[in-house]
Structure 1
Amino acid sequence: MNKPINRWVVLIASTTVLLCTGAIYAFSVFAGPLSALKGWSMGEIMMAFTINSAVGPIPMILGGFLTDKGWAKWSIMVGGLLFGLGFYLSGLVNSPEMLYVTYGIIGGIGQGLAYSGCLSNTIRLFPDKRGLASGIITAGMGGAAIIAAPIVNLLIEAEDALHAFRVLGIAYIVIVAIASFFIQSAPANYQPEGWTPPTRGTGGVNRNWLKMLQTPQFYLIFFMLFTGAFSGLMIASNASNIGQQMFGLSATTAAFYVSLYSLSNCIGRVVWGTVSDRIGRNNTLNIIFGVIIVAFLLLTTLSSQLGFALGIIILGLCFGGVMGVFPPIVMENYGPKNQGVNYGIVFCGYSAAAFFGPRVAVSMAASNAGNFTNAFYVAIFIAIVGLALNVLYVQIKNRSEKQLAVKQ
């Protein structure tokens, strides 16, 4: 007998927490004003975003371990509160190094703990709708900047970027504290009433992280996540600057497009997650990688605001799709019991993309008078690699399933 639990309430509360921690995707709205206020270079400031994303695997694995042990509620609450604290303290910094500690390390640790707990705990409650649940819960991360970007812009116009950090930090602490009361930890093998587990596939085979590392699928999934997240993180961290420097947009208009990107990111997670439930994860990824290539070609060939809008919308949808599809892929390969730790390790692929994506974009733009075109070409190549890896993954997976069927 499963302990009575309202999985939809847990889903809503967890999504609310991620609507706070997902404010990292609005960082490009902070970057320019913070540079002007403090006189720091864009490279120095963007390093804070890079550190925030790069430290993610450590707290994600820890949060995954806590979630796998039934302590998801604490992982989520502590992580969310740490993130809010890091945001608030970022409003008190007087050097780039302090920003790296507050926003990069404290905020990154908090975000990783909360994200891991929310995601792994929630999709355990939806074995019948993994793609949909993953899409909705990760939409909290992707959709956060829809709310944050215009508020940040208003707060910066009213005072400055440091003021915006402080106000949002306090707000996030309060919201996370309230939402945490409605979160319950899910049993490892939760089954909703009226649902029967499928008899085929690997979803019922629980492998820990050591056994996961022994499979060739792990390495393909890892690098596929890297290639899928690369373009999304490149745009997420530089959307405002791309709009202003390449398409002549004002800071206010560029902030609107940051929100538009986040809205697309949010919608993409739900849409592609649901689509993947119907046509399969890998068929979905084939489409996503192909569309990413088309989107960057639009950005490189169309110099109008319309071209920028199309590119932003399409890339946001695709980035959302990547983040919504991979959690179910990991669970379906290695089972629900160790999903927290397993996905935390796979998520290192995302963190690698977070380290390289923004840096490649900034360095190439700096050497080309603020033009990001060369960075877009790199992203196209990375997407092509991702498409090839997905094809290889399907071949290896099919071969493994045939061998398993023969043994049975």
Structure 2
Amino acid sequence: MTKEINRWQVLIASTAILLCTGAVYAFSVFAGPLSADKGWSMAEIMLAFTINSAISPIPMILGGFLTDKHLAKWTIIVGGLMFGLGFFLTGLVTSPSMLYLTYGLIGGLGQGLAYSGCLSNTIKLFPDKKGLASGIITAGMGGAAIIAAPIANSFIQSHDALYAFRMLGIFYMIVVAIASFFIKEAPVGFKPAGFNPPERHGKGLPNKNWIAMLKTPYFYLIFLMLFTGAFSGLMIASNAAVIGQQMFKLTAGTAALYVSLYSLSNCAGRVVWGSVSDKVGRNNALNIILGVIVLAFIVLVTVSSQAGFAIGIIVLGLCFGGVMGVFPPLVIENYGPLNQGVNYGIIFCGYSGAAFFGPKVAANMAAANGGDFSKAFYVAIAVALVGLVLNIIYIQLKKRESAEAVTA
């Protein structure tokens, strides 16, 4: 089916919305000042980030279901506005419990809905460039803190963290409202002009629902691989400013700039690795990404200068972005585009598990070691190595399946 639709316009509008919801990756800029202003412990404050990230399967699966039912536009609008509202209300909190409700629950639900709708809807418009489209759309999430971190830091310096939350929340709601006018639903079976989908041993891409997906061994491997790939990125995203100040003795302003640098790398990694995976394959790209994650953490634990921190932050940002850009097309290639919203939402639970454990492991180990994150970095290395093993198993199973299909 071909239908006239400006898919690049949809991609740009969706990316603009995710440039708002991705502000969660700048949370480490708010955490320290919020702790100082309110007298709450870092553990209490970081729980809000954990809640925000860990509840994502709920809105991701719901948003995926609504998107698959041709309600992507409303999913995106409601999610984006909820996120902005959650940010604004966070600027009014007076207790950690309120923080968990506004930033953790409202913001987390809104972010997940918007992300699921934007990603699932847009990738269906690019069957010929799945990796590139996934990379660009998820780059909105990864690149948001490039803008949010310095602006938030400026508001914090001139006023306080709560004022920064309020101002950013208002701005995000305005951006979502404007961008929503350019969001269009992906038509069923959309094919761009001149594109003929590749066939697999005489068959097109499979279209499996979530029940059929759970019956395949690849689901469990992909799920765990997403966990291992996202673990290190979320560990750094939630603690980057704190790591810079406590381990590398950076000022708050300099640390905020490194948060932006991490987000810039995260953003670039999603586009670059998504595009590269279109050429070399998702799993070959993932092998390289996981291997480089190990090397980056080795640099962080062995090079104590600011240069070591810069190298580690840049490389880990690129790799985290690569992970988030590679997995959406990997899911659609295994289970087809028809049920991508729900299928990816379920697999995204792997990310949520990483969001729960990654920041918590880092914060607890640092607190037990006088602000030193080195032991947490060793844990991240071990997790990445497990991911490499899982990816190799996946590749071998795929080769065996392909060989059996040829001889059948």
Q: Same fold (TM over 0.5)?
A: yes
Q: Distance in 2 between matches of 1:17 and 1:246?
A: 34
Paired residue for 1:116? 116
**Paired amino acid for 1:146:** I
Deviation of 1:200 after TM superposition, in Å, equals 2.0
Task: State the match for 1:169 in structure 2.
Answer: 169
| CA distance in 2: counterparts of 1:342 and 1:399, whole angstroms | 24
1:149 partner amino acid: A
Partner of 2:36: 36
Residues 29-61 of structure 1 show CA distances to partners (whole Å, capped at 9, x for unaligned) of: 000000000000000000000000011010000
Deviation per residue, 1:73-97 (Å, 9 max, x gap):
0100000000000000000000001
Q: CA deviation at 1:396?
A: 1.1
Q: Aligned to 2:70, what secondary structure does the other structure show?
A: coil
Cα separation, 2, equivalents of 1:38 and 1:108: 22
- Once the two structures are TM-superposed, the CA of residue 404 in structure 1 deviates from its matched residue by 3.2
Q: Which residue of the partner structure matches residue 84 of structure 2?
A: 84
Corresponding residue for 1:27?
27
The 8 Å contact of residues 203 and 331 in structure 1, kept in 2 or not, is answered as no
State the AA in 1 paired with 2:240: A
Q: Which residue of 2 aligns with 1:181?
A: 181
Partner of 2:5: 5
Show the counterpart of 1:401: 402
In structure 1, what is the Cα distance between the partners aligned to 2:58 and 2:191? 30
The 2-side partners of 1:227 and 1:188 are apart by 33
Map of 1:241 onto structure 2: 242
1:221-260 to structure 2, matched below 5 A, reads 221-260=222-261
Q: Cα offset for 1:2? A: 2.7
- Show the counterpart of 2:346: 345
What is aligned with 2:391? 390
Equivalence map 1:338-377=2 (5 Å) = 338-377=339-378
Tell me if structure 1 keeps the 8 A contact 2:3–2:190: no
2:43 maps to amino acid:
G
* Cα separation, 1, equivalents of 2:230 and 2:101: 24
CA separation in 2, counterparts of 1:371 and 1:190? 51
Q: Summarize the alignment of residues 130-279 of structure 1 with structure 2, pairs less than 5 Å apart.
A: 130-200=130-200, 204-279=205-280
Whether contact under 8 Å (1:203, 1:335) holds in the other structure is no
Equivalent AA in structure 2 for residue 294 of structure 1: L
Counterparts in 2 of 1:145 and 1:203: CA distance versus 1, 3 Å: farther
Look up the equivalent residue of 1:351 and give its one-letter code. S
Any stretches of 5+ residues in structure 2 without a counterpart?
none
Secondary structure of the equivalent of 2:93? coil
**Residues 300-345 of structure 1: CA distance to partner in whole angstroms, max 9, x if unpaired?**
0000000000000000000000000000000000000000000000
What is the percent sequence identity of the aligned residues?
73
1:69 corresponds to: 69
Q: Measure how far apart 1:21 and its partner are.
A: 0.1
Amino acid at match of 1:136: I
Whole-angstrom distance in 2 between the partners of 1:291 and 1:187: 39
Q: CA deviation at 1:186?
A: 0.3
- Over 3 Å counting, the alpha-carbon distance change for 1:259 and 1:205 in structure 2 is same
User: Partners in 2 of 1:379 and 1:164 — Cα distance?
Assistant: 32
**Secondary structure at the residue paired with 1:265?**
helix
Shift of 1:176: 0.2
Q: Whole-Å Cα distance in 1 between the matches of residues 237 and 4 of structure 2?
A: 39
d(CA) in 1 for partners of 2:384, 2:49: 22
Q: Which amino acid aligns with 2:339?
A: N
Does the aligned pair in 2 maintain the 1:203–1:332 contact within 8 Å?
no
Deviation per residue, 1:175-203 (Å, 9 max, x gap): 00000110001023211000001012786
Report the TM-score, using the length of structure 2 for normalisation. 0.99
SS at match of 2:231: helix
In 2, the alpha carbon distance for the partners of 1:405 and 1:141 equals 40
TM-score, length basis structure 1: 0.99
For the Cα contact (< 8 Å) 1:203–1:336, is it kept in 2? no
Residue 320 of structure 2 is matched in structure 1 by 319
Amino acid at match of 2:44: E
The Cα shift of 1:403 comes to: 2.8
TM-superposition CA deviations, 1:87-138 (whole Å, max 9, x none): 0000000000100000000000000000000001111000100000000000
**Residue aligning to 1:93:** 93
What SS does structure 2 have at the residue aligned with 1:247? coil
Q: Residue 45 of structure 2 corresponds to which residue in structure 1?
A: 45
Structure 1 residue runs without a partner (length 5+): none
Partner in structure 2 of residue 59 of structure 1: 59
Give the C-alpha shift of residue 211 in structure 1. 0.2
Contact kept? 1:40, 1:96, Cα under 8 Å = yes
Distance 2:212 2:23 in 1: 35
2:77 & 2:59 partners in 1: Cα distance? 13
Q: How many angstroms apart in 2 are the aligned matches of 1:11 and 1:142? A: 15
